[in-house]
Each structure stands twice: as C-alpha cells, then as structure tokens.
Amino acid sequence: MENTFKGITDPFVLKNGVRIPCVGLGTFKLTNDAEGVQVIESAIVDCGYRHIDTAAAYKNEASVGKAVKASGVPREKLFVTTKVWNVDRGYSQARQAFDLSLERLGLDYVDLLLIHWPATQKHYMRWEQVNIDTWRALSEIYAAGKAKAIGVANFKPSHLEALMDEEIQPMVDQIEFHPGYYPKETAEFCRENGILVEAWSPLGRGKVLESPVLEKIAAAHKKSTAQVALRWILQHDALPLPKTTHLERMEENADIFGFTLTPAEMKAIDEMPETGYTGQDPDTVDF
C-alpha cells in the first residue's frame, strides 16, 4: 500500500474532519523543564514538527506550553495532544484533571484529548462503566470546543466495544506499535470503525533498531533502520510518534517520504519475531 504523504505536516483526517499532522513528536521522559522547552521548540522551529504528544502523566505539559509559545508558530498551526491519567478516571475527576492540564499547558484548547489507559477488570468490577464515565467527560469537553478531537490510548477491541454505542465515538486509539510488535487485531478493529491508530514507541524505544530484518531493508533503500520502522508504520496507515532529544535524529525521523516499502518488505517486518515489546498489556498492567 502506498500513501501520498510528502512531509510530516501532511495530515491524516479524523472522522470528524480534524486534520492531524502525520508524524508527531513524542515527549515521554522529557521531564527536565529547560531541556523539554529547548527540545520541543527546536523540533517546531528547526525541524518543522507541528504535532506534539504529551500527557498529564509525563509531567511536562508546562514545557510543551512554553515551547509552543516560544516557537512563534500560530497556535492553530500546531497540534497538541494530552491525556487523562489513570488516577483521574471517572466523570468529575476527568473534567477536573483536564482543566489542570489546560492550565499547565497555558492553552485555551487541545487538539486531541485521550484516555491514557482503559479501566479493566483487573482493577474495577464495573470497568466498562468507568470507561464510559470518563468518556462522557471527554465528550463534554469536546462539545465545549476545548478539545478538537477525542480518543483513547491502549484500548483493545474489547475495551473499545464498550464505547461504540456512545453518541460520540473515539476518533483515535494510541497503542504500542512497532516492528517486532504489530497489534494487528486492534489495528483492524480501528480501521473498520474509522478510528485512526497512533503508534507509540514506534522505534521500540530504540530496541528494534539493530534488527537484521530492518538492517537489510534499510540498506536496500539507503535509509536508517529508524526510518524504515517509521515508514512501515505510515504504510500501515498508522501515525508514528517518535521521541528524540537530538536534532539530527528529529530530522532523520522526519525524512521518511522519499521511498516506499514493497509488499514483501512490509510482510517481512509484519512477521518479525517479537522485539522491543514493553510487556505492557492493558489488561494486566499494574498502573
């Protein structure tokens, strides 16, 4: 399959018509404020990133907000995602948590708001209802225009199904997705339901970059293994969110448009042995 993106600001279009730049900058573990501001501002100004992925749990929303302002790029040209953390599940907690996120970001709205992890039967008797209650908070935030789009993260089809009868349905599911961990079943469910998949840890936190499968394909295209990993994700119609603090890697991760993986190369990566999986199954994680 070949998509027609020519650069990182070309958009996927969500089911509500919102346009989302097809590569985003991850910010997990970017917890030092000064470094965070510098890295994110540089991604925007020097590298042309327009899509930043943060979360209340990353403790860097304030850095993202400062970088957005310092960049001088008009707010409407940027796409900022944040997420409601697990301790804030439920209707009123999620509403309050979002207000605090906005305050830390110093923004009037976010472009995308996600439930960070599903409530599951491991921690809740009525887990479906907890997810519905949290979802209704997000739906109201969306209706009030304070989030331009809403969605979930780490939801498997069983968790998504419990939300599919809601008036507003999830527009995005952000899940672990990288060579060595291809979550095909969730991706197919999302495709069938018009939900955009965003790929977290698209480089397997660096652990997949020495895979012989990727090395061979990278050599054939004169690209790096990181570029092949990100390209594979895009060709699966998923949106990669690579995180890096290094300018040259930001540039490398943005330079994934001048080549196309063949169907055989796609298949070889689909079928790679499990590599770099975090082991964070949403049904069994402890947080």
Is position 111 an interface residue for ligand NAP (rule: CB under 6 A)?
Answer: no
* Binding range to ligand NAP, per CB under 6 A, among 65-73, 94-102, 182-190, 194-202: 194-202
Identity of the residue, 4 or 9, whose beta carbon is nearer to ligand NAP in the bound complex: 9
Among 12, 18, 20, 27, binds ligand NAP (CB under 6 A): 27
Q: Is 281 in the site for ligand NAP (CB under 6 A)?
A: no
Taking the complex as a whole, the smallest distance from the CB of residue 229 to ligand NAP amounts, in Å, to 8
* Residue nearest ligand NAP by beta-carbon distance: 26
Give yes or no for residue 172 binding ligand NAP (CB under 6 A): no
Nearer to ligand NAP, 102 or 256 (CB): 256
Among 18, 226, 234, 239, binds ligand NAP (CB under 6 A): 226
Backbone angles phi, psi at 163, to 5 degrees: -105, -5
Residue 247 CB, nearest distance to ligand NAP (Å)?
10
CA distance 101 to 153: 17
- 182 is annotated as an active-site residue: no
Question: Interface with ligand NAP includes 154 (CB under 6 A)?
Answer: yes
Binding range to ligand NAP, per CB under 6 A, among 134-142, 144-152, 247-255, 257-265: 247-255
| Residue from 133, 135, 128, 176 nearest 152 by CA | 135
Taking CB under 6 A as the rule, does residue 101 contact ligand NAP? Answer: no
Q: List interacting residues with ligand NAP (CB under 6 A).
A: 26-28, 53, 116, 153-154, 174, 200-206, 209, 226, 241-246, 249, 252-253
Active-site positions?
A: 58
